[in-house]
Structure formats: C-alpha cells, structure tokens
Chain A
Amino acid sequence: MNDILFGNNNRPVIKKLSNRYFKANRSRNVIAIIAIVLTTILFTTIFTLGSGLIDTVHDQNIRKAGGDGQAVLNYISDNIYEDIQGSPLIDRIAYTKAVSYRLKNSGLEKWRSDLWYMDDTALEFARYQPTAGHRPEAENEIIADTRTLEALGIPAKIGETVSLAYDVKGVEYTTDFVLCGFWETDSLSNIGRLIVSKAFVDRHSDILSYTYPADNDYSGVVTAYIMFHGKGDVEAKLHQILSDTGYTCDTMGGSPKDDNYVIARVSPAYQSNVLSGNPAMLFSGIVGILLIIVTGYLIIYNIFQISVIQDIQSYGQLKTLGTTKQQIKKLINKQVLKLSFISIPIGLLIGFIIGCALMPFLMNGTIYTADAGIKVTVNPAIFIGSATFAFFTVFVSVRKPAKIAGAVSAIEAVRYTENSVGAFNKRKMKKKKGEHGAKIYQMALANLGRNRKRTTLVIMSMALSMILFNTVFTLSDGFDINKYVEKFVNTDFVISTADYFQFRFEVSGIDLSDSFVDAVRQNENFEDGGRLYTSRLLEESFSTDNKAFGGYNTDENGNPLIDLYGADDFLLNDMEVIEGRIDMEALKSGKYILLSVECDDDGSIIENTDVHVGDTVRINHIIMDGLSSKTEESYDFTIMAKVRTNENTTTTRNTGTTRFYLPTENFLPLCDNSHLVSFPFNVKSNTVSEMEEFLDHYVNGIEPNMDFTSKETYIDSFHDLTSLIVTIGGALSIIIGFIGIANFVNSVLTSIITRRKEFAMLQSIGMTGKQLKQMLSYEGLYYAVGTILVSTILGIISSLVIVKGISNGIWFFTYHFVMYPMLAVYPFLLILTILLPTILYRQTAKVSIVERLRQN
C-alpha cells in the first residue's frame, strides 16, 4: 500500500527485521517464553480458582437449597400456586407438595427422609431424576434416593416393595408402594426423599388439604420454585409477581399476621455474588493478581532490558540508516507479540490444569466441601481474563526497554558497553579510592554494580517468593487450633439425640436418654460433664416484656420469645463472663439469671441489647397451642452476669433468639415439660479414642436414636484449612520462586555472554578457569546475600505489618513471628546461586580464547 502522506509502505521491512532479531535472540526467547508462560500460569490458576469457587459454591448452594430456582415460595396452598403460576415474568415454575414429614419406619431415625410429590420440573430442579427406572405414574409407584432405601433396608432394585408408615395430620397410615426408580443420594443433602405420583396425591387430596396456618402441619403444603425470564434483580421480580397477584412477603414489609402473607425468598444460590459477599476472598484475589503483575514485570522487564542493551549497537546502526524511534519500538513490540502468542496459550493450559488440581484444597477451606464434587466449567472468561492480564503485564514490562531502544542515539550506541551507561545518560563511573588490589571477591562485587538496576530486579524477584513463602507459613502457623476448636466444641464430647445433631431439636419426638448419660458417666474414662435442659417451642416457651430483646417470634402480647435453659454446674462454670460475676450460691437462690450475649466469629460481642448487669427482666411462661400462645405465670430475675456461651455445647443449635441460663434446679420447676437437650462432657487425659470407640459402639448398637460429636472432628477440619493455605500459597510461591530463579539464570547467562571477551582477556593475562568460576560464584553468592538481606528485612516488615493486619481479622489466629521457612530455604538459595553461574559458564567456555578475543 502506498501512502500519499508518508510515501512508502515500510511494514514488510520492519517485519523482516523483527523476525531476524527474533531469530538471533534464541536464548532470550527461551527464557522470555518461560517467564511469560509462568506468569500466565499464575494468572490462569488464580482465575480458575476464582471461577471454580463461584461455580462450585453456586452449584452446591442450589443443591443445599434442595434444588434450582431463583426464588422459592414456601408453605403455600394450591390456590396461591394457581394465582402465581401464570405470571409472564416466570420462565419455569416447579410444583411440589409435602405428603408427610413424619415417617415412622425404623431405620429413619438417623437419616431423615420425607414423603413428597414433585412434578417433572421440580424433579429436574432438585436433581431427583431417577438414574434407574422411571418417574412414578401409577398411584402405588414411588421413587427414592439410595441412602433412604438403604436406611429402610430395601435393596435399590426396581419392583421392590416399599412399605411406608407415615403420619399425616396426626393420623398414621401404612401404604405398600412399588419402587419404580431411584437415584444416588447427593452427598450434600442431609435429608432423603421418597416421591409419589400425581395419581397418589390426587387420590388422597382430601387428607392432603392445606391446613398449615391453622395447625402448623406440613402435610399438604405446596412449595414452588421459580425461574424468571432473563437476568437481573431476582428479588425485584419476585416482589413484582407477588404484588401483581396481591400477596406480600417479609422483604416487602409483610408480616405473618397479614392475610395475604406468603413465605417467599430468593434462593441463596442466587442471592449474592460469592466474591462480593466475601471481601476477604476478593481481597486475596486482588492482592494475588497485583503480586503476579509485579512478579511478571520484574522478570519480563529484565529480560527485555538486557536484550535491548545487547542489541543496542545494532539499534544504533538502524538509526544511522534512518529507522525512526517508532519503527524501532514496533520492531521490539512485534517480537514481544510473537513470544506472547507462543507462551500465553501454553500458560493458559497449564494454569487451568493446576487450578483444577488445587480446587479441592480451596473448597475444603471454605464452608463448602470438595467431597460433594467440584464444578470447574471451562469458562471462556477464565482464559480471556488471564490472557488479558498476561498481555497487559508483558506490554507494561517491555514499554521501557522499547523506549530505550527507540531513544538510543546513533553515535553513542556504537560506543555503548554495559559499563558505560553513556548511551543513555552521562553518568560516569566514580573514581574508586584505594590501592588494595584486585581481589576476586571484590571484582565480583564490582561486576554486580555494573548494572545496578538489573541486580536489584533479580534480587527483588527472588526475595518476593521468599517473602510470600514466609507469609504462607506465618499464616498457617498462626492458626490457633485451640481457639478454632474452642469455638465449635469446648468439651471433649457432646452426646445428644440424632435429631439434635441434625438441627431438629425442636421437632424431635425424643430426648437424650438418661440411660445414655448414665452409661457415659459409668465409663471409666469419664471425667466430668453436665446436663443442659430447655423447653420445646411447640409445647411451651418463655418471653420477656423487655423489647430490647427483639425476636422474630412473639407471644400473643407481642413480647419477644426467648430461649431459657437450665444448665448443670459443669456448664455454668465453663461460661465466660463478659460483664458482672457469677456467684453460684446467689445464682441458685432463684433471684438471678445469666444472659448470654451474641458473638460473632472472632468472639467479639455484637452488642444488641440495652440491658445490663443488675437490671431486672420479667420472664413469662407461655403455653403454646399450634401457632397461638397463652401467657401463664411471670417471674422477675436480676441479671447477675453477661456470659459468652458456646453455640455447639450449651444451646439447642437453633439461632436467632436471646438465651438466658438458670441453674438446672431453678429451671426445672418453671417448666411444665422440660427436655434434656445434651450432655457435654470431658474425659480423662489420653482417653479420647477409647471414649470415641465406646460411644460409637453405643449409638450404633444400643440406642440408635442417639448420637455424639467430638473435638476431634473439628481438629480434622482445622488441619484441612491449614493444608489449604500451605498448598495453594506454597504452589504460588514455588511458581514465583521459579520466576525468580529464571530471572537469576537469565541475568547471569547474559552477563556471561556479554563478558565473553572480557573473560578471554582475563584468561590471556593469566586468570585460570578456576579463578574465573570462583569470581562467578562470588557474583552468585552476592545475589544470594542480597536476596537474603532484602527478604529478611521486607519479610519482617511484611510479617509485622501485613500479616499481622490480616490476622487480626481472623478470629482463630494467634500471631507469631516466624522466620524458619525463609531460613530453611536460604541454604538452597546459596547452593543454587553459587553453582548455577559456573555451570552456565561451562557452556560458553567451550569457545577458544582466541575466538572470544576476536569477537567485537
């Protein structure tokens, strides 16, 4: 193409030059490709982990929610369903109807399973599609998940008879169904499903009528799962549908007292973005990306800086021949582009594989689990994002070297040698005082000073991985197992009913048996324990007239309901007093009460009550009858202390209500029908495994309704978490370490190549090969010493400032200053930096002195 303004088309010649320079710089290309590949790997790994996390959490949330669907309408009637289903906003809607929540078959004590009808859409949303057999059609057909069948003792085989005993609105029925299909139980779901046909529900519509508002019975209630058209705010669409059809829900300001109230919510899977909902995760992601950009910059900049300086004379020549600044820049950029096109796809592929491999570790560190399956979709965004960042890093890194090449003065470039930086600035080397002679180690030091910038870059890039490595271990070291476990269970064991551990204390029909408690007490390894009592909300409850204790549930007078517990001394003694002081004797006088304060994860108090020690609270005893309540007698107590209690040992594991504690002997008389919640206890030292064995045996053989949990379970989950940090952080520091080493190799190699002639001269005046290698080893040693100094200083600073800062936000973290990971790596660093230069030198020393002397 000929251009009128500029006359000629010089693209082909620039292309040719660029290609020739590219070919001439083979060793630079190799190292640049390694550098870009590693940088891209880092980006892709981070992006894969991020995207995999979002996908997996979304997927697992859907499964936990019991199925897909952006919004859920719970406990509605067929009428409401009919009103809503026609809305034009709805893309798909799934219909389910509960048949029974109370299955009486033996075997279902520890594995809860409910009896439902679900339409085809619902089966699809819930992923209950039979993997063998077909959906139930005939009235006597049923499908179930494998774990439920196992619990029932029925083989997973089509045509088996499933004989079910179930309760519908207080009446027990027994039906023989025929198994027409089943599916594998989702490892995430903690309840099973038995699903009957439409024919069955239609046939029994009389007993499956909607009576939930009157009797709180689930049989006959409809749950609808909705998928809306298009993207956008799910909550707004839900509100739109409800208001269009004349209903209201919580988030629209409705209350259960309203006639048109429905329980409607947005599914947690669609509620908020995982990342924006998790600032720590987002923050680590951003820090990670910045770190990679810096690491990538350090090496890629260095590579091209070195390469440009090596080629500077030819760039000067090009200038004398009339090549413009822009053309020289283009020349370099074209080479960079070519390198990127080779390296980035490789990096994307390897990074994706590494990311997928690390995914299970990441998931285990979250509240989600890897065992339940990990979902990493080959999301184009991962590759587009990583490639963009990699390109960005590469081009930022070569901007300066390209500018140097473009700006070189034609005359000075010819005179340019590495030492006389004269081609770019007029800095002359200062005089060096002293006549202490030319010791090899001094020469080596002086050699590093030839290009201070390069030396600094190499040292920084090696130090970076050291610092990261140290940070990883400081973090994993600081995780305090005691603090962590204490938060979950502060006694060795907790025994209770199987229902309790499935968070079904309120609806359970059984209590922790005295026989189980006695069996434990009689065990030789038992040390001390205590009982926890409370009431069941559906039978009786307590309220307080103090409105400071806001709650969702209120009595008929609008007073918030509270949880009132009776606890043995063992539990009371264990409570941590926040305000006031516990005087056991006074407490047992019946005039006092303990108030439990709500705490967040790191144990800091969420101060939500304007109630203090010494204040009097009136506690009303409420008798519940279905959803209606009746206040009986009232008692006044003085708050003796505010305490911090353990969620998993001294509560029913239901949240959202203010908790008060009384000594057992004071609590029991207030209650019509008290229930034994749990029995937390400690064992004698070193007998945890014996006790565990005993309990295991007991709950499996003697009382299958009972169950237990131990500290050990949480200790394991703690180790999962630390191994997450070490694995992912370790992997990243190793890759960054490789980049640092590559940077070092590149610098040493080019410095050897550029000094070939100088070495030949030194040899011609009598420096032996051994002395030369010694000098190079000293140079390596100084790099190592520099790295050690920088990483120690910056490592200490980053540990004290950054790690300590981050760790303040982690509740189970106890900060210790840690240096040993760096100290452990230093010897390897020293060996590597001392050996590598001599190995690299050997490659170049094959050319004879005379030939090297001749080179210009």
Chain B
Amino acid sequence: MSILQVTDLKKYYGTEPNITKALDGISLSIDEGEFVAIVGTSGSGKSTLLNMMGGLDIPTSGNVKVRGKELSGLKDEQLTIFRRHNIGFIFQNYNLVPVLNVYENIVLPIELDGDTVDKSFMDDVVRLLVLGDKLDNMPNNLSGGQQQRVAIARALVSKPAIILADEPTGNLDSKTSSDVLGLLKVTSNQFKQTLVMITHNNEVAQLADRIIRIEDGRISEQGV
C-alpha cells in the first residue's frame, strides 16, 4: 500500500530566462515499510525532493500525499503539526538540541505534542540503538555515530508514517557509517518503518530495497 505519493512535482527558482529547475516533474510512490534510497550527484535535486516530501518546502507545482493527505492544502502551522505526527527527520549533522540530554532529545517530538511516551516502545528503540547507558548524556559528550543514533531514535520514537534521512552518514567515518546504517535498517525492519534515505554514495544505497536515481531534477532510474 502506498504511503507516500509524489505527482509531477516541480520546483523552479528564479524567472525566465534565468530559471533553475531544481525538480522538473517528478512522480513516485513509496509503499508502507519500504526502504528507498534516493541517489544523485550534488545539485541533482535530491535534497529538494526530500524537503518537499517532508513538507519543509513548497513546490512550484505538483503535489505530495502522505497517508493520503495532500500537503499543499495545509497552512504553515497545520503542516508543522502534520510533520510532527507523520514525518521523522534524520539530518547529516544530527541536529540535536544541545541543551537537552539524550533522553530529552529523543522524546522531544512527543513532548512537543503534549503526548506521553510509549515506555515499552521507547525501551525497545533505545535497546536496539544501544543508547541505554547514554540517556543522561548531553549531545556534545557523544561521538558523531552516537549522536546520529540518538537522531535515529528521535525519528523512530514518534512512530511517523515515514522517516526522511538526508545523508545520515555523511559526517561519519566508514566504520561508523556501516554501523549506523546497519542499525537504521534493522530498526526500520523491526518496526516496519517506511524509510527514505538520500545519499550520493552508491555503496550506501545498496542497502535499500529500492534505489531511485535523480539527475537534473528528473528521475533517471526508478528501481523496482
């Protein structure tokens, strides 16, 4: 069942004749529980696509549907709340809140919603990501790999419809990279979590169920 549908998505910057077509008519569909890698070179438009899918950016035309809900119809505040419930982000540079400890960072999206934390789910996530003894630590006391594991936990814990990961291992060495990616795959499998990952690294992309290639704002290879 499709959980995310992108239809003829376009994002243009500037005006004629100096127009930049970051995305030029992209359509794709992602099923529930699928692990998709979007691969492209720098400037191909893959980050723009990810931002559109996460409701962070507004397309010039076309639409994005998450769980059947069209994002273009939502106002800024509604979009934020929609994101809180349906999208989990993992960034290249972790983006943890420096003044919150590990535990607080992980539960932040739930707390923002005023919800209570699903204790047993939380414990599972923490155990899988081997963060059990780090919960009281502050982010700046953690290594890059540990910080990214916290970011993964944060994305998982609110059980979003879809996790969007933007070059999650871009800042990590290759050993840590494969550890983190391994954990990312294991956890998304375990929790049947839909995962869309952006990378320029083909090797990393091989981990995914499906690879979508983007070149100059268009899909060049859709995968199976």
Residues of A bordering B, CB below 8 Å? 417, 419-420, 422, 428-435, 437-439, 442-443, 446-447, 449-450, 757-758, 761-771, 848-850, 853
Contacts and interface: CB of A to CB of B under 8 A. Distances in A.
Contacts of A757: 95
A432 B135 CA distance: 9
B107 interface: yes
A443 B141 contact: no
Contacts of A432: 101, 104, 136, 138
Contacts of B89: 761, 764-765
A443 B56 contact: no
Size category, B interface: 35 or more
B144 to A, nearest CB: 12
Given A450-B98, A850-B56, A437 B138 contact: no
Interface of B: 51, 54, 56-57, 76-77, 80-81, 83-85, 87-89, 91, 95, 97-101, 103-105, 107-109, 111-113, 117, 135-138, 140-141, 154, 158
Given A437-B107, A848-B57, A769 B100 contact: no
B109 A766 contact: yes
Nearest to B86: A766
Contacts of A428: 138, 140-141
B83 A417 contact: no
Contacts of A853: 56, 91
A438 B111 contact: yes
Contacts of B98: 417, 419-420, 450, 758
A765 B89 CA distance: 6
Contacts of A767: 80, 84, 108, 112
List of 10 A-B pairs having minimum Cβ-Cβ separation, nearest first:
A766-B84, A446-B99, A438-B104, A419-B98, A761-B95, A429-B138, A432-B101, A431-B136, A438-B108, A768-B80
A762 B97 contact: yes
A764 B52 CA distance: 12
Contacts of A758: 95, 97-98
Given A446-B100, A450-B98, A849-B56, A768 B77 contact: yes
Given A428-B141, A432-B104, 8 more contacts: A419-B99, A422-B140, A428-B140, A761-B91, A765-B83, A766-B112, A849-B57, A853-B56
Contacts of A429: 138, 140-141
B77 A431 contact: no
Given A437-B104, A850-B56, A766 B97 contact: no
Chain B CB within 10 Å, residue with most, of A439, A443, A770: A443
A764 B56 contact: yes
B109 to A, nearest CB: 5
Nearest to B94: A761
Contacts of B88: 765
B124 to A, nearest CB: 16
Contacts of B95: 757-758, 761, 764
Nearest to B96: A761
A450 B138 CA distance: 12
A353 B137 CA distance: 57
A764 B83 contact: yes
A850 B141 CA distance: 27
A443 B97 contact: yes
12 contacts: A419-B98, A431-B137, A431-B138, A432-B138, A437-B107, A757-B95, A763-B80, A765-B83, A765-B88, A769-B80, A850-B56, A853-B56
A429 B140 CA distance: 7
B84 A437 contact: no
Given A431-B141, A438-B104, A766 B99 contact: no
Nearest to B104: A438
